[in-house]
Amino acid sequence: AFNRKKIAVIGSGFTGATTAFILGQKELGDIVLVDIPQLENPTKGKALDMMESSPVLGFDANITGTANYEDIKDADLVIITAGIARKPGMSRDDLVNTNAGIMKSVAEQVKTYAPNSIVLVLSNPVDAMTYTFFKTSGFPKERVIGQSGVLDTARFRTFVAMELNVSVEDVTGFVLGGHGDDMVPLVRYSYAGGIPLEKLIPKDRLDAIVERTRKGGGEIVNLLGNGSAYYAPAASLVQMAEAIIKDKKRILPSVALLQGEYGYTDLYLGVPTLLGANGIEKVIELDLTAEEKAALDKSADSVRSVMAVLK
């Protein structure tokens, strides 16, 4: 029999719901949207509302809402968006204690009901939360993956396309490191239509784009006034989900467990990876200049100091 993939989305807030909606539209599988018992009815309502859009938009996917983790049984892919979001004035790191508690309880449930799933983590601070899921679940590292670089690169690509007035599709970007203000956008590896950006954009403008990318999450937090970004984060999760579900072997940045790569050990950090049916099939290592490595070290130190709060 040909079965649709089963995708569980944990957390039915703006990000989780948007993710489910895009997954449905792309017909990547049947979707179970999960939230806490106090939100059971709103979660069921959002799922049913999405289902009712499917005849109009023209997609087939069962989308259901639940507060019962048994409903994620044998999911192929689990996407975790659960947790509180930051408000203006907060950094992602201010969320660490609250969201670590949530992440541990989610990890126990996923381990019980979907022990063979591949897991994508979005909850912030994402590097530390991905590590928390990894430790709590005992899943192999290939199957515990965080999302940050696809989003950070998407922001970079957007700003470059706006600057050059060219298609976003022709712009590639490359961001390494933790999902914080000291992430490392690598201009040297970024192109528009195959042309290095350094040949197309003056240095001061490019520096400004790098800076805006670093603070891109905060820019949205300040504009929204009460919560953080969700459209671009959801789209980024779906791109990673698609790479895995369709075994596309895409080279995308992931938050991956490093065991020696880039000189770091026992640390989840954003690096280029090969994503396919087995999850992270490879961490791609690059030669970095001394300056780039120093920037990455600084970002890794920031992630470690957040992790230290947890221990």
Name the amino acid, one letter, at 209. Answer: I
Catalytic residue among 46, 92, 143, 179: 179
Which residue has the CB atom at the shortest distance from ligand PYR? 217
Q: Per rule CB under 6 A, is residue 229 in the interface with ligand PYR? A: yes
Minimum CB separation of residue 155 from ligand PYR in Å reads: 8
Nearer to ligand PYR, 24 or 217 (CB): 217
Nearer to ligand PYR, 82 or 245 (CB): 82
Nearer to ligand PYR, 228 or 273 (CB): 228
Q: Per rule CB under 6 A, is residue 270 in the interface with ligand PYR? A: no
Site for ligand PYR in 150-179 (CB under 6 A): 151, 179
Three-state SS at 226 = coil
Q: Per rule CB under 6 A, is residue 124 in the interface with ligand PYR? A: yes
Count of C-beta atoms within a 10 Å radius of residue 138:
10
Sign of the CA dihedral 184, 163, 253, 309? positive
The candidate with the shortest Cα–Cα distance to 29, out of 232, 245, 244, is: 245
What backbone phi and psi angles, to 5 degrees, belong to 297? -60, -40
Count of C-beta atoms within a 10 Å radius of residue 55:
9
Angle between helices 40-57 and 14-25 in degrees, nearest 10: 30
Cα separation, 268 vs 257, in Å, equals 4
Nearer to ligand PYR, 109 or 124 (CB): 124
What backbone phi and psi angles, to 5 degrees, belong to 122? -115, -25
Stretch that binds ligand PYR, among 163-171, 188-196, 227-235, 254-262 (CB under 6 A): 227-235
The candidate with the shortest Cα–Cα distance to 128, out of 308, 295, 299, is: 308
Minimum CB separation of residue 202 from ligand PYR in Å reads: 27
Question: Are the beta carbons of 210 and 202 closer than 8 angstroms?
Answer: no
Q: Per rule CB under 6 A, is residue 303 in the interface with ligand PYR? A: no
Site for ligand PYR in 125-154 (CB under 6 A): 151
Taking CB under 6 A as the rule, which mask of x and - marks residues 10-49 in contact with ligand PYR? ----------------------------------------
179 is catalytic: yes
CA dihedral 55, 61, 67, 69 (to 10 degrees): 170
Q: Per rule CB under 6 A, is residue 302 in the interface with ligand PYR? A: no
Q: Per rule CB under 6 A, is residue 121 in the interface with ligand PYR? A: no
Give whole-number Cα distances, 214 to 43, 166, 250, 253, in Å.
Answer: 33, 22, 24, 15
Stretch that binds ligand PYR, among 138-146, 185-193, 225-233, 293-301 (CB under 6 A): 225-233
Cite the active site residues.
Answer: 179
Q: Which residues bind ligand PYR (CB under 6 A)?
A: 92, 124, 151, 179, 217, 220, 228-229, 233
